[in-house]
Amino acid sequence: MKAGEREKRYNSNNKMSIQEPDQNCVSSGDRAGFFIPSDTEQDWTGGEDGDRVGVQQKRLRGALDALFRAVTSESECESVRPEHISTLVEIIVRNFKKKETSVQGAQSAQDGERDGELDCPGCNRFISEPVTVACGHSYCRSCVQQAFLSKCRKCHEEIGAKHLLCVNVLLCGLVEKWFPEDIQRTKRIAEVKDLLRSKQFPQALSLATQLLESDPSNIRLRVCRAEAYRRLQHYHHALEDFDVCESIAPSVEVVFCKAKLLKEMGRVDESVKLFLQCLCVDQDFQEARQEVENILCDLLVPTCESVQTLEESSEPSGLIRAQSLRAHVAGGARGEGLKRVSSAPQLGEKGALLKRKLSGLEAGPEVVETGDTKHKKHGVSATASVCSDEDKLHLSVPRDLLDPGDFECSLCMRLFYEPVTTPCGHTFCKSCLQRSLDHSPQCPLCKESLQLYLASRRFSITRVLDDIIRRYLSEEHAGRQKIHNDETKELSDLEKNLPIFVCTMAYPTVPCPLHVFEPRYRLMIRRCMETGTRQFGMCISDTHKGFADFGCMLHIRNVHFLPDGRSVVDTFGGKRFRVITRSMRDGYYIVEGTEELQLQDLYDQVYNQASVWFHALENRFRNQILQHFGPMPEKENDIQSSPNGPACCWWLLAVLPVDPRYQLSVLSMTTLRERLVKIQHILAYLQNTHAE
């Protein structure tokens, strides 16, 4: 390869380029037919995904061309790293997943049958040391800590910071009460895992074997024993244990561990299939992806000695030789998928091995020999048709041990409604926890800091608890829901209960941005949003009455929550109201009844006078007004069109430099004529003062 050609294939960081290959090597159409099967092309280029898949095809063709050119040069092959063939891995997984479609259908059907509330979505077994992640689903603690679980198996959301999660205290207490024997069994399994972590492999093997004698169907124990066998290099026994686990209830953990074992045993062709099965279930399983990239890189990139021999050879380029080789295949048979990757002599022994390995991927689930026995490979995507008796016991909650008192919120002392679990493991009603966090960003029970939890504002319902309450405590839940609905209905009736924000003067049509930090007003704003009213009243304070008799409705346009729970609320003024009666709810005032004031005259004269005053202001004052209140409203032809009167009256009242008490007196006037006269007097006074 010439130096100029190599520079085109690599950038300054020695990364492989994905530019289109030269046309004098192999035509794009021929090369596409060689690496990508014709039936796959038809599937990929149709429908909504056509454009995206077309880009993937171009990336694959370019990457493969650059890769095959790189392996013919000693200097370039040294810069090829596993991450450079990620596109190739992506296409392989896509093809492999298509072969698994029928098996995934069986998986969905069997998942529908396994409706146990206390089954872990990660291992499909009885949940042990339950941990609730950010999305609200609960897993075994050991499953969450494993690298293979990057996204929730139920909703596919990111799990997030695993190290911050603690055991769900309530759920853990329930499973200990309902299934004491199973809890003892999981504690013994934890002992085996502790021995493995401390590298006491013989002791771990002995204890696991002892426990399996009384519980041969326990998958967790068998996986632990297989791991002990692997660490002691008893590969044959480890493989037998993994095969048994796979035949009972396959999971990503089981298949990934088995794949690593097969790789250590040198059976790379079988291990790469299992790694791909893991990626079919979880495309973000980075460890499995890295294993596949490493295997393919090792097979595709020859040693430097082989490269030197190939460079001295006068044989034609690999892609041309591959084309020629394919053209002479008996019967012109065309394989599927990545079976078309060439095993031409240019790739040497490793290239031929790669073809043999990838050719087997099209078969999907198959029967393979492992040791002296044969086991059917169901793959990760298929749940075993045979479940142990232990599994069946956990498909439902024992009704005789169910106590509604176990599902009581420690803050409101009522049945949980929309239960949420904090990272520290404590559970509360969603609304109860939010009210507590309004006052302090700490757990109400253990005082653990919840600042990060508050900043995320993800109060996800704990699904397993909510499902148990709805299913087994349906009557109690219906009563609790009725109480919640009645409270919500009462809060949403602004004619009877209008929440009052005691702060500043507000005017119809005039923007009124608010910084909300007091706990009582945090609650008020949240209720306005949750009930859908998006309105509240604004009044100034009054020494004797608490707040003034007149105020203005504010409509919420947007709420921006800050990480510490404070919020910036964007509002604008609506209609005015007069207070008839006062009362208080949860720390903030509410009033009953509103009275709309009527509209009158003098509009044109006051508007012209106000326009002259405004344009006569100094630039710095005028710019400050424009920045805070916006431009002066346009002159209205019909002053009766709005129940609040012309917008310019309220804009003027907000910007005129007068005492708030005077502003309140104008706001409380019942006729437009009175307000216009007052504003006219203010404008005349300001103009006379300026003239003097």
Q: What is the pLDDT of residue 33?
A: 36
6 CB-side CA count, 13 A: 14
The pLDDT tens digits for 115-169 are 567 888 877 778 888 999 989 999 988 888 776 677 788 888 888 777 778 899 9
Bridge partner residues of 536 (DSSP): 554
Q: What SS3 state is found at 522?
A: helix
Residue 420 scores a pLDDT above 60: yes
523 CB-side CA count, 13 A: 19
C-alpha to C-alpha distance for 555 and 551, rounded to whole angstroms: 13
Rounded to 5°, angle at Cα 295 from 294 and 296: 95
Q: What is the pLDDT of residue 466?
A: 94
Beta-carbon contacts of 47 under 8 Å, excluding residues fewer than 6 positions away, are none
Bridge partner residues of 494 (DSSP): none
DSSP 628: H
C-alpha to C-alpha distance for 348 and 380, rounded to whole angstroms: 33
Between 381 and 572, where is the model more confident?
572
Flag the least confident range among 79-83, 230-234, 284-288, 344-348: 344-348
C-alpha to C-alpha distance for 521 and 556, rounded to whole angstroms: 14
Among candidates 174, 126, 161, which has minimal Cα distance to 391?
126
What integer best gives the mean pLDDT of the chain?
73
- Which H/E stretch holds residue 13? none
C-alpha to C-alpha distance for 246 and 244, rounded to whole angstroms: 5
Structure tokens at 205: 């093997």
C-alpha to C-alpha distance for 488 and 530, rounded to whole angstroms: 9
Q: What domains lie within the chain, and their CATH numbers? A: 3-80+301-337 (no CATH), 102-287+363-389 (1.25.40.10), 399-484 (3.30.40.10), 492-592 (2.30.130.40), 603-691 (no CATH)
Residue 22 scores a pLDDT above 70: no
Model confidence band, residue 638 (pLDDT cutoffs 50, 70, 90):
low
Q: What is the pLDDT of residue 556?
A: 95
Q: Phi/psi of residue 408, each to 5°? A: -105, 130
Most confident segment among 59-68, 133-142, 636-645:
133-142
pTM for the full predicted model: 0.61
The pLDDT tens digits for 468-518 are 999 999 999 999 999 989 888 888 877 778 899 999 999 998 999 999 999
Beta-carbon contacts of 304 under 8 Å, excluding residues fewer than 6 positions away, are 74, 77, 78
Model confidence band, residue 419 (pLDDT cutoffs 50, 70, 90):
very high
Bridge partner residues of 561 (DSSP): 567
